[in-house]
Structure formats: C-alpha cells, structure tokens
Chains A and B, each alone.
Chain A
C-alpha cells in the first residue's frame, strides 16, 4: 500500500514535468530552420502548394494555438499524426519502443553480469593484481565511444567468428535474443566502469565495517560474508548510481541503435528530427522523459527494498 501510494504520487508529479518538457521541445524545434511542408514536398513545390500543406498541417496557426491543440490532443492520449510517415505517432512509438526497452534491459543485465563479479573480486582482493587490473582497464573503456566499441564487437563476433548477426533485430524471439547480445554488451561496456568503481568503493567500505569483522570472527566463510552480508549493503548506493546512469543512457541508446541498425525509438528520433516531423519528435521526447522518470522511480523503489532505513515519501 505504502508503495502504491508512493508510486501514484510520483506519477502525478510527472505531469508538470511532462508539460515543462513538451513546452520546451515544442518551441525549440520550431525555432530551428527547416519547414516540414517544404521538406515533404521537395524543391519543386510552388509557394502556394507549400502554403496549402502548411495550412493542412496546422502550421499556419499561431504557435501558442498549435501548442494548445497539441496539449488538448495529448489529454486524449493522441500524440498527433506523423505526416512524414503517414502514421499516427502512437503507432510509431509502440512499434519502436519495445526495441529500445529490450536494449536497455539487456544492457542492464549485461552490466550487472560484468560489473558485480569484477567489483566484488576487486574489493575482496584489494590492492592485489586483480584489483589493479579491474580498476585500470574499465577506465580505458570509459573513454571509448560506444559507436567504436560497437563496430569492434561487430568485427570480432559478427564478421570473424559469426557468433552473432552483424546487425538487426530479427523477427522472432530467438532472433531478438541473438541480435541483442552485441548491442547489450556495447551498452554494458559503457555502463560497467561506473558501476564497478562505485560498487568496489562501497564494498571496501562495508568490508571494513564492524559487523563484517564480527561475522568473520564468528567463523562464517569468506564467500558468505562477502556475498551474503557485504554485497547487499554495498549495493544500496550503487543502485542509485546504476539508475541514474541508465536514465542517462536512455538518450544515448540511439548511438547503439544506429550502429546495430536496431529499429528503436532513438533511430526513429533522429529520422524525425531530420524530416522536421514535429509531432513525432514531440511524442518521442515525451516518451524519453517518461522512461527516465520511470527508471528513476524503479531506482528509488529498489533502493527502498534493499535498505529498510530508506523511507518512501
């Protein structure tokens, strides 16, 4: 119940955030040069035809009125119509969003698979060889851009070894699973260094605390101490770090989607910006905003679940 009320409150608080975002996006995209009607019609269109299409698209109205119309439609769950794709924006988003979510989820899973064992190992062998390597190598990784990492992974695992498809998302679950591995790892390689550092630091702090010393002295095995006692407590702060970074990644997945040709929402966003497809850009931006808020919400909930001292309010 407490959770439910909290979630509801957070969702309500989302409304002003979304209005603020819609306001900024709506006016910003109209500030950049490039006319959707002219872009759609091509350079041979006469000024009259362009004007006609602009009228049809509602672009001749004052911008504030266009905005109110947009808000009005939004209340009905209508994000508008993409004149570039001849399709409703909601349809475009519902087609591409699952791909992006799938990418984010797999990226997170791979991040955990990579970062948690390494961080635990580094903390347990503090200042040893393993620790030094684990601390140094990810720092290098942090400096490598995702598009480059992605291409290298494709070259090695796609072209040379043929373990995974070079690109694409496939049409069935097995194909999705195979297709998402390299993109997921690319996301994870960007995210892991941050998580490793944070988790290692908190592990070290926890491992030197009194209750761990006590646990050790009671003769509990090192692995149980590290994994059972220390990791859970150390994870608390790292969850926040991970959450914040996943939220941040929501925007950057579009680079990965581009390299791996995943038909996700980031890819759609780029195309729509280039085509001056105002309704789609607005719709996708709002979707990104909602995703960021949801990831933050999940982060807080996980945080609370891990640490009973955290109060949801």
Chain B
C-alpha cells in the first residue's frame, strides 16, 4: 500500500478528541483508528500466511453497541473497528496517518479542503462497491448524529463527491487535525443509506469494508466476527473468526489464557506481569500507549481554586513510588498532561515533580497554610485507584491535609466528577487520534464539554493558545505552541499528572502479529495463530 504522504501533511495529522475513560465502566471513551501496519509488520505479514483458526480474546467488559457515531466504549470500539474502515489510518507509531480506503489525498493551498482518491475495487461485506457517495453519507452521518462523536467533525463544512472515486472535504476554517479526525473510528465508512435499512437495524448487524464481518453476539457473554473472504488486502485476514469473550474476573481471564481457551488477555493487572513472563507458552507485551493518569482537583470548590494548594499537592505526589508500587515498574513518571506517544509532546516540559520541601513552601503561601480536610472520590473495586488514594493520603498528611477516601462505584464516580460534585479524584485519558488537539481541547477549553477535564479550569490565555494551535499547519510553529501550552498548563497545576502507562497484553505464544497502537486500537487482519 502506498505509504507516501504528501508533503505538508505528514505532520499535522492530528486530531483531537478525548477519551477519558468512563471510568471503569468501559464506557470510557477512547478511540481508535484503524491501522495496521503495512509498514512495521512486514514480518508479521509473512507469518500471517498460516491460515485459519479461531482467535479468542478475553476481556472484562462486553461491547455496548456497534453504532460508530455514538458509542465510545473501548470494548465496542475495538470490535467495530474490525468492520468499519476509514479513509486514512493512524500509523503504527501514532504520530500521523497513512492512506487506507483513500489511496491518496491532497490538501489545498489555502488549507481549507482536502481531496481524497478512493482505492478502486473495495467492496462492502454485502458485495456493494465503495463509492464516494458512501463516504459522504458516512461522514455526514457522523457529523449530524448528536450526543456522540460529532464534535470530531465540527470543523467540517462540506463533503463533496465530484466523481465516484473522489471525495473533497472542506472545512470552515484551516483545521490542522482534519486528517487525524478522519482516521477516527466515528468516520468509518459504511454503505450509503445503511444499505436500505434503518439505522437501528443496520447497527444490529453492521456492514463495512473491514477484514471481519458481523457474526453472532450473545450479549454479556461473547461476540464473534467472521473473516471477510473478499477483503481488499490480499491474503488477509489469516484467522477464520475472532471472539471477544466477556470474563469479568481477572483471575479467570488469566486461567483461561493458561488453559488455552483464549489466546489474548486484554488488560491483565500489572502485578501479574512478572508471573506470566515465567509461564511457558505465554508472552507479555507492554505496548507504548497514550494513557496518562491524573489527579483531578475541582477548582470550583475551595481551596482547590487556589493555585498554591494545587501546586502543593502536585509537588507532594511521589510519582516514582506510584510507578514502583502500582505499575510494578511498568511505566514512567509524567511531566506533562500530554503523553510521549502523542504528537507534539514536549519531553522538556518541566511539570511539577515530587519535592516535599517545595510542597510545604506552596502550602505556606496558600489560603490554607495549616492544611484542610478533603474527600477523595475513589472507584470501588479498582485496585489502582485504591493504591493511588492511599499513597496520596500519606503524602498529603505531611502537608496537614487530612484526606478521607470515599468509595463509590465507577458509574457514580464518573457521574460525580462530570457534574463537578467532588473535591479530588483520579482519572485517565487515552488518545483516539494522532493529534493532541483532542486531549488539549478537552483538558483546557471548558467549551469542549469536558469542563476542562472536570477541573472547572477556565484560563483565557491557555484557551487562546489551544485555538491558535488548531489552525496552525506549520509543524515547527505548532510544536512551539504546544510546548507553551504544556508548560503553562503545568504551572497552573490544573491536574496532578501521575504517570504514563503502557497497554499490557498477555498472549499465547501461538499468536503472531498482534500489535496495539498507542491509542489502543489493533489490526486483527495481521494476526495469525
């Protein structure tokens, strides 16, 4: 496939959107983009010659729905990505996009429109050929469906179809994240007019161009997709079926992998990694991710409206201890609210690192020099959250802050944080696209709907920088803008950045070619057994 990317586009492929995890529920939002790897996986492709087999992936939560325009849950997204494909796909390193259903694309000189040439001969699972009308329908569907991913397409003005294999997308203003936005799963291509069905009926048994087709779904138990025999990439996929089996219990998932009833275990606990490494026939992969964990502080409540209090807390967090005790060493300390796998991350952004002396100094300058009492909103049943709470509790005690821990279930935690009815809590983010704007906007611009990552922060200078960066196509200038944003944001201590975490996966050693992108997406057409 053509990996050539037109000059000028290679960098800005960015995009935005956020994913915040809806804590635990799996209803979190993450995102994805299809990708696969024509490049980085040439050896995998070779091994994919071995055909057949049924791949079983065990996971904690079931999918919710296959409606790509409204569903954010990763458990759904990672499934529907195997059926719907996008015009462009994220590269394996998460830094840009590459041609996918569109074999080429060209940005106009004024940066207001982009022309895509579709790959010819691509067919939907129902045999219907893919045309520009299907692309227009799919992107328009995403833009107008409210309550879902439509914010991704907010800069798109119009989708035009000059001929069956050409699509021209114009934007309302120069919009650097456009290509990355188009790689977002919500812009997956489906047949025009839902191939004659109602939207509801269509998404009960959806049709796309992807390597796998709709199979069966026993809700709450297992979802199976079948191989698409006429997939446009010759020789792929290798496996006959893929089943995502819902196994909520961590131990049960590990046992099923060991017992050979499953080949891939999604999200094994970090505490089990070293043990799995020593288990014959199993392997562990820690894929670089865009996951970053944060301490949320609600600035609409006192004393968190005081920057000195937030800084004091941020300085008081022993991040090394968190990495060691919670991630068992499988991670690194965060210096920015952006993550190293995201484009325009600034490794030189100082962040606020652990320094108890500075923490005490900040407390002394604050409105509550003697300390205060606060409540940490924790997710019950989440071991990581419990550990973070306990470590934080001990640190804050040294500042005179008495922190009580309130455990609520994940849905309630999500509800209370989004309604800003909490004082201090924990959350994380994973990117959906190869552009920092998705996160940056969500985290800093209250108008994006996320209350500035549920902190209530409203800093006009930072918001102005966010908007400037969205419209900047020059790579160097854009990097400068994001550097400024990262530095200024860190100084406000609006979030206590904690650590960067990889995506852990345990697999049977029979699995070949399984690779997870920084956003969490994966390309099962490259996997063989």
Contact = CB atoms under 8 A, between A and B. Distances in A.
A in complex with B: yes
Interface of A: 32-35, 38-46, 48-50, 52-53, 84-87, 92, 95-96, 147, 151, 154-155, 158-159, 165-168, 258-261, 263, 267-268, 270-271, 273-276
B414 A39 contact: yes
Contacts of A52: 146-147
Interface stretch (B24-32, B266-274, B347-355, B463-471): B24-32
B431 interface: no
A42 B251 contact: no
Contacts of A42: 22, 27-29, 71-73, 148
9 contacts: A35-B415, A38-B418, A39-B411, A44-B442, A259-B249, A260-B252, A261-B245, A273-B409, A275-B411
Given A92-B220, A258-B252, A159 B258 contact: yes
A34 B411 contact: yes
A87 B219 contact: yes
Given A41-B148, A261-B249, A46 B411 contact: no
B248 interface: yes
Interface SS, B side: loop
A228 B48 CA distance: 66
A33 B412 CA distance: 5
B181 interface: no
A7 to B, nearest CB: 32
A86 B248 contact: no
A166 B71 CA distance: 32
A103 B186 CA distance: 41
B462 to A, nearest CB: 20
Interface stretch (B62-70, B86-94, B164-172, B337-345): B62-70
Interface string B209-228: 00000000011111000000
B371 interface: no
A258 B258 CA distance: 17
B70 A41 contact: yes
B93 to A, nearest CB: 26
Nearest to A47: B449
A225 B148 CA distance: 73
Interface in B398-416: 408-412, 414-416
Interface in B40-71: 61-62, 64-65, 70-71
Interface string B245-268: 111110110011011110000000
B20 interface: yes
B322 to A, nearest CB: 24
A271 B151 CA distance: 29
Contact of B220 (A85, A151, A168, A260): A85
Nearest to B30: A42
A130 to B, nearest CB: 34
Nearest to B411: A34
B256 A167 contact: yes
Interface in B143-188: 146-149, 151
Most buried by A among B22, B148, B411, B412: B411
Given A39-B414, A42-B29, A85-B220, A259 B151 contact: no
